[in-house]
Chains A and B, each alone.
Chain A
């Protein structure tokens, strides 16, 4: 079942990349048709960085948490260090 941990980070990153791809397609259409180029660039320049943050979130936060969890449950690995209050016993 360990592989399931990777499902959510991959889904989030995949969706974010797909949305960025759609934005790139909008830019391409606007360029090819010479139509509403200014609006498209403006919207894309706001939205693409936000979705890059989502990619970072999937890779650094979610994947990172999952990797830590996998490491802790591997046979022979020492138990994780004492967690901070709020979740520790």
Chain B
């Protein structure tokens, strides 16, 4: 097998280290996560055996943790593809080391979003009814369609930029790995024709995936807002959900970046400047999220509609007040306090803020789903919802399995796009300098080249 394009990687060899070598820490962490995931699977078998009666779901609260997880996971999926695609189209050069991590989150987490729906069905065999007798008047089926489209697009968008790196791995690995990388690297040699086709494919997918991603979370919001339930029927639910999704997605991306940075010693690639840039995005999304939350709750309060008021006050001063004010602190106060201050906007600071946002956004999804169902508009008795050990266990198992699969991915594929980093060094700097020249007024010849760009002149 030719090895021409895998030579001369220099310092970038460290990016192969996690794939080619595995330490004991990985197995310990994987073992713990596997145990939690196995407990979740056991809980699910209990639910399959005895039915949804083992959960806290009841009448009128027919949706609980599983639907909360579904909305949360689909939201996290915006980490990747959307952020990566937007940064790629904007030619933001700082994107290069972070796109792979972001795209991986998207693909993996979408499986858990879909899985949450199947778990919520109680009887998973009923999924086939959707395929056989689906009726596209239902927003639930719009969801099935849009999420399948998004999952396919995200997988392709993760795979295409992976191809050159798979070829690099093919030329280094032995045994079964060599066969695997040979099969999935599509015979990549790095020829101009292969590059032309690959870049055309990536460019088309980067454009296509953005409206798909936006539509997915908009459609998720329509599952709620197409009903007449209090505090669900809202015209701003689409952008509100998309904002929350990008918000939580950025938080997940920051945490995953910090984890691989520390575990695989990638400080030279995932630098404080990357965390700083994402932290500023997180801060922006925090403010935007607060704006939508405030608008949503103020209109419900000012309208004075009885059913809406019951839900609103259940959240603000009633049985869900702790979750509501906790959500506000976690999604606004803590991120603002950390992110708005340059001294605390460090790697550790952004991780603390991101963890706060992830917990806060899960609570936000909970507060959207449960209080409305517990206080229905129709004259049903009001309900309460308390999740049982089965739901807690399945939720914990899902999160553990997601982290485990992410870890396994980093053991099979480089979590930082090697060829894109190299391309950034060799082409990106020059292109960025040329772009700068084109932005500035006056004679282009008078713009001084500085830093690495000067060397390229």
Measured CB to CB, the residues of A under 8 A from B are 1-2, 4-5, 7-9, 12, 15-16, 19, 22, 26, 29-30, 35-36, 39-40, 43-44, 47, 50-51, 53-54, 57, 60-62, 64-66, 68-70, 72-73, 79-89
Contacts and interface: CB of A to CB of B under 8 A. Distances in A.
A83 B192 contact: yes
A86 B420 contact: yes
Contact of A12 (B135, B156, B190, B192): B156
Contacts of A12: 156
Contacts of B7: 89
A43 B426 contact: no
Given A85-B423, A86-B427, A61 B198 contact: yes
A4 B183 CA distance: 5
Main secondary structure of the interface of A (DSSP, over half): helix
Name, among B135, B136, B184, B422, the residue most crowded by chain A CB atoms within 10 Å (CB to CB). B136
Interface residues of B, number: 51
Contacts of A36: 135-137
B124 interface: no
A83 B190 CA distance: 5
Given A36-B136, A69-B189, A86-B422, A54 B156 contact: yes
Nearest to B202: A61
Contact of B419 (A8, A16, A87): A87
Contact of B194 (A30, A69, A79): A69
B191 A47 contact: no
B212 interface: yes
Nearest to B4: A89
B204 A88 contact: no
Contacts of A9: 186
A88 B191 CA distance: 9
A43 B145 contact: yes
Given A61-B200, A84-B190, A89-B7, 8 more contacts: A5-B182, A12-B156, A19-B152, A29-B134, A43-B136, A82-B192, A83-B4, A84-B195
